[in-house]
Chains A and B, each alone.
Chain A
């Protein structure tokens, strides 16, 4: 019985993951991309749960909700913002 309900669920989540992966890779703005990749990461967490991998799901959860956004947002803020000394020209 579990099997029967699980298979369509897995198929649906796999399809969502495929779409989300494409949207992360093809989205061109980094800021929108980190938001999309958060969604993508959570979908992966769900997928891992239905694939019976709770340990991996938990790791992915902490990675995708904390580690990635933090470092990526800092990098975006730093590179997108103006330079601290106010010039945006290339230094070379």
Chain B
């Protein structure tokens, strides 16, 4: 028996006991669909009248529990920094060679550019209306970043690399993440609690509803878009460049 087989054999009874304990605990939950937690009801009751945001989830994410989101943005920030740190010795940095693009069709290139434009628009739209309808900074940011990934697929690495230089992305990412902290500190300096709303509640159902939620939301969108683009780039460099280097050597 290999080590892995033994492990699997021991895991089954161990997980069985864990499962028994967990299911026993889960059976003590209130019935499905019959939830009466006070916290969520309180937020549902106050979000629209007090904050003028129609989306209670966004109000929670960016205002009532905005500190969690600050932490979350920095988790993304730290993870991207970590990925760049961990991959700094391999990929493009390890093999210093210019990649060859496999994409040669002009039509495909054009499609890539259009996809980029379309993706960015969708992303901006998602981010903009986050506090009115579903969506928000995170979803919009990822959509923008994935538009760049599409650009890579359609137009090749060089087009992708040209539009995503570190000199531009790093400051953008830092501005997004730092902007969040600055909004918080601005409130603190004006004598209010950290992340307090400086701008009043605004009009419901418009782009400016929710006061400084708008700023925080856009900071998050910028941070998420830049961070994910850096992340995708760091991974794509692992793939595209060693392959190109291997091909040119052959």
Contacts and interface: CB of A to CB of B under 8 A. Distances in A.
A60 to B, nearest CB: 10
A75 B245 CA distance: 17
A62 B149 CA distance: 12
A26 B46 CA distance: 45
A74 B238 contact: yes
Nearest to B241: A84
B181 interface: no
A58 B139 contact: yes
Interface in A42-80: 53-55, 57-59, 61-63, 65-67, 70-71, 74-75, 77-78
Main secondary structure of the interface of B (DSSP, over half): helix
A8 interface: no
A81 interface: yes
Interface string B232-243: 100110110011
A74 B243 CA distance: 11
A66 B152 CA distance: 13
Contacts of B239: 74, 77-78
B146 A62 contact: yes
A62 B137 CA distance: 12
B135 A70 contact: no
Contacts of A53: 57
